[in-house]
Amino acid sequence: MSLQENAVNLLEVRGLTKIFGSLKACDHIDLAIAKGEIHALLGENGAGKSTLVKMLFGSLEPNAGDIFWNGQKVGIPNPGAAKKLGIGMVFQHFSLFEALTAAENIALSLDDGAPIGTIAAKARALSYSYGLPLDPDSLVGDLSVGERQRIEIIRCLLQTPQLIILDEPTSVLTPQEADKLFETLERLRSEGKSILYISHRLEEVKRMCDRATVLRHGKVVGHCNPREETAASLARMMVGNEVHAVVRQPVEGIEKAQSLLEVVNLNRQPATPFSIPLKNINLSVRAGEVIGIAGVAGNGQGEFFEAVSGEVLQNDTASVRIRGKNAGGLSITGRRLLGAAFVPEERLGHGAAPRMKLSENLLLSRHATDGKMFVGAGGMVNSSSIYSAAQRIIEVMDVRKSAPDPEAAALSGGNLQKFIVGRELDRKPSVMVVNQPTWGVDAGAAAHIRQALIELARSGSAVLVISQDLDELFEISDSIAVMHHGELSKPMPIAEATFEKVGLLMGGAETGHPEHAAEVA
Amino acid sequence: MRLELVKRPQRSMLFSMLSPFIAFALTIIAGAIMFAFLGVNPATALFTYFISPITEVWQIHELAIKAAPLILIAVGLSICYRANIWNIGAEGQFVFGAIIGSIVPVLYPELQGPFVLPMMLLMGMVGGALYAGIPAFLKARFGTNEILTSLMLVYVAQLFLDWMVRGPWRDPKGFNFPQTVQFNSSAVLPELMPMSGRANLGFVFALIAAVLVWFMMSRMLKGFEVRVLGSSPRAGRFAGFSLNRMVFFAFMLSGALAGLAGISEVSGAIGQLQPSISPGYGFTAIIVAFLGRLNPLGIVAAGLVLGLTYLGGEAAQSVLGISDKVARVFQGMLLFFVLGCDTLIHYRIRLVGLGASKPQVAAKLEEAR
């Protein structure tokens, strides 16, 4: 490699722009990545990070702007071209076939037609040399999320890329698994490979990355050296203003409070070959407290939510009790009538019907509980009272929108989430179960939602929050339990809980999975 | 140069209204081309097909007779399709409703009086609903594909009718023709204005059904349930609505309306059961439902348009000497263009030159601001 080549950046992007309809997802982005650096791409959800890297990987075509690779202007029309240049990508959402083995999944993405045995051997060798042990013959369906991510990384490394793009790699990992990933990344850097690291977790960016580019609303708002910044100053760059911290007053005498939501020996058989069975879950949420359920995605949280909400009924009616009444055999409507409210993880298509107006989406979860007000005699819908109730929620939750009563799909994720949470809070439910309350929501709105949940609890309701975001759970919970492989640990009072302890439980320690415990230790 | 579809942020109200008209215009153009290939002057042919059948009052009556079953069936189908349930078997429900509704006048011709007709209509609706209940049950219980089961049951119903009129129900004094006895006068649907033409009460039923279903779909909780379960079933389950119950509701209600159309046709326009009692109303109604934007009021207009294609087909056959299958061709083209034009509601079409030039990009940027 000549001196001259060393002087140019591996990848340089000038004025890259992508427009969707009337939205500028990326607006004249400039970015330079040197050889052998870990470069962070920071920004809130919706800031344009994913759009930018999709253009770099050839999955999206830019409307304007140039990409330079080793100083040469290049076009990247498709992912194949990106791979040829030496760009590899590990996506946030894995693209793996669960019914195939790891080696078969890897073989699918390579086009050299090598026999599967050779690929498996190569993958095994590579995985051990990078400290990411992987058995190429195991079925993907049997692997944990962290292990699945390893397949994606190995698959990417087998193509010997110069630049590796990682999209929010730690969002699905336990703290211990993340540490392991960081070691691998540092090794790759020492070999002279460049890494573009996308994240909104500031601590890990500060710890690992050499430079950072911060995006906000599709524009570059700054380049910096994250090691010289504080988490607060980075957050300010990302969000644009100070984010109010959530206030949580400790509660007193909670031991004597009445249990409003009880889950007793809840079991559920897996509905599909790849869903998680629930095993003997016990939990009690008292009036006035927030209990958080932590866990890596895909450990049964979705199944648990369905069982508690009544979207799936239980054979044992006493396995779910709401305000002291057996609710296991009641439908979701019956459980709502007992005073419970639910917010599912998926906003579009589950919590809200995308092509329906906000006012209609209000009716969605409240047609039974507010039947007198919203539905008149003979099943007539009272549109005007629904409309005014929807406007009230929009105002209280500060939902930003383009029309008085837009379709749910026209709102940004964060604003729709504010509406969906607000829709349930407006009822003043005595039991509230929320799955991923602030996933994909910008920091300001997230703080608003968290504060609202705490206040609901302090006003005498029982609040159960399922989340993968540990920071969030530590912020709002009075106790934290951990879900792993469909089992729930005993709730730990927040005063005793640490990231370390919760992380170990997330990795499977104590709940009877010695192989995982050994792995994370 | 290439065409690109760009998703609209919201559905376009404008194209929601315009799309049926664009589709109709495209159908006329394609029809003109087809007539030219058949060696007929397109202008005369189109006039014969679309204008001449409605120039006299009695012809308007004929149009109402053809449109009534189309509207009745399509209004029912619109509920199914809004619920994302694909009832393709309205033709069978039509036939089965006609058979069940005809039990009284065929087996008990001596029964006479004002109660006979309401009883027939009610039995026709029950028959259609029960027949539609079969694919509903199979879907809810075993997860079978309702498109296949409801379609196959059409042929079962048609062959059953064929057997009935050739066998057990054949008119003993009918010179061995495959048909039942003529219905007696109290079993015949009254004509609306006997002085000017044949149109009967069936058209009134169609209008009433359209208004009632429109009211249910737009103003009642039940209609909301239909729309939620149809557009996002998971959100519907979250709302506490049951998809299985909806399958029965939508199938049986649309079956009842198809059955009503069947018995109205038999007791009104025909007056007895024959081996064939429908020129494919149950299938054409699918086109009517979509041309009417699955909106019961739009369906009334669409029903009249499609009714016209039947009359036009007959006129084209007698005046121009071309096959009345032309009617089917027009119906097919209409459905094709309606579904095609619906793309415009959710997408814009954009012409993209290879490597869009700089001024264009600048214009786009300006527009985005």
Written in H, E and C, the secondary structure of A415-442 is HHHHHHHHHHHCCCCCEEEEECCCCCCC
Decide: B246 and B85 in contact? Cβ < 8 Å: yes
d(CA A287, CA A457): 7
| Size of chain B, expressed as the number of residues it contains | 369
A364·B227 Cβ contact <8 A: no
Domain ranges of chain B: 41-321
ipTM of the complex: 0.81
Mean pLDDT, 10 residues at a time, chain A of 521 residues = 56 88 82 91 79 88 90 88 89 82 87 83 86 84 80 87 88 79 89 88 84 88 86 77 70 77 91 82 93 87 92 91 92 94 91 92 92 85 92 89 84 85 94 89 82 93 91 91 91 89 79 42 36
* CATH class of residue range A246-339+429-521: alpha beta
**Which pLDDT does position A511 carry in this prediction?**
47
Provide Rg for chain B, Cα atoms: 23
Please give the DSSP secondary-structure letter assigned to residue B270.
I
d(CA A148, CA A96): 8
Decide: B135 and B87 in contact? Cβ < 8 Å: yes
- The pLDDT tens digits for B322-358 are 887 888 888 899 889 988 888 888 888 887 765 544 4
Dihedral pair phi/psi, residue B123, rounded to 5°: -65, -35
d(CA B91, CA B69): 11
Could you give the C-alpha distances from A360 to A355, A389, B218, B227, in angstroms and in order? 10, 11, 11, 10
d(CA A378, CA B221): 9
List CB contacts of A128: < 8 A, sequence separation 6 or more. none
What pairing do the DSSP bridges indicate for beta strands B347-352 and B2-7? antiparallel
Decide: A88 and A79 in contact? Cβ < 8 Å: no
Decide: A274 and A96 in contact? Cβ < 8 Å: no
**Which pLDDT does position A284 carry in this prediction?**
94
> Interface of chain A against chain B, CB under 8 Å?
17, 19-24, 63-64, 309, 311, 331-333, 336, 342, 344, 346, 348-356, 360, 363-365, 367-368, 375, 378-381, 383, 406-407, 410
Residues 197-256 of B with CB under 8 A from A: 219-222, 224, 227-228, 231-232, 234-240
**Which pLDDT does position A201 carry in this prediction?**
75
Provide Rg for chain A, Cα atoms: 24
CA dihedral sign, ordered B313, B318, B320, B322: positive
A63·B361 Cβ contact <8 A: yes
Residues of chain B with pLDDT under 50: 356-369
**Which pLDDT does position B272 carry in this prediction?**
93
Beta partners for residue A284, in sequence order: A262
For domain B41-321, give the fold: ABC transporter involved in vitamin B12 uptake, BtuC (1.10.3470)
**Which pLDDT does position A60 carry in this prediction?**
86
d(CA B140, CA A264): 32
**Which pLDDT does position A236 carry in this prediction?**
78
| Size of chain A, expressed as the number of residues it contains | 521
d(CA B100, CA B114): 19
Q: Does B13 touch chain A (CB under 8 A)?
A: no
d(CA A12, CA A345): 37
What pairing do the DSSP bridges indicate for beta strands A259-268 and A487-488? unpaired
Please give the DSSP secondary-structure letter assigned to residue B24.
H
Hey, how many other C-beta atoms are within 10 angstroms of the C-beta on A324?
11
d(CA B22, CA B42): 19
**Per CATH, domain A3-239 is 3.40.50.620:** no
A143, amino acid identity: L
Work out the widest C-alpha separation in chain A, in whole angstroms.
83
Decide: A106 and A136 in contact? Cβ < 8 Å: yes
A487, amino acid identity: E
Q: Does B1 touch chain A (CB under 8 A)?
A: no
Q: Shortest CB distance from B8 goes to which of A21, A346, A353?
A: A21
Domain ranges of chain A: 3-239, 246-339+429-521, 349-428
The whole-angstrom distance between B350's CA and the closest CA on chain A is 11
d(CA A19, CA A27): 8
**Which pLDDT does position B180 carry in this prediction?**
92
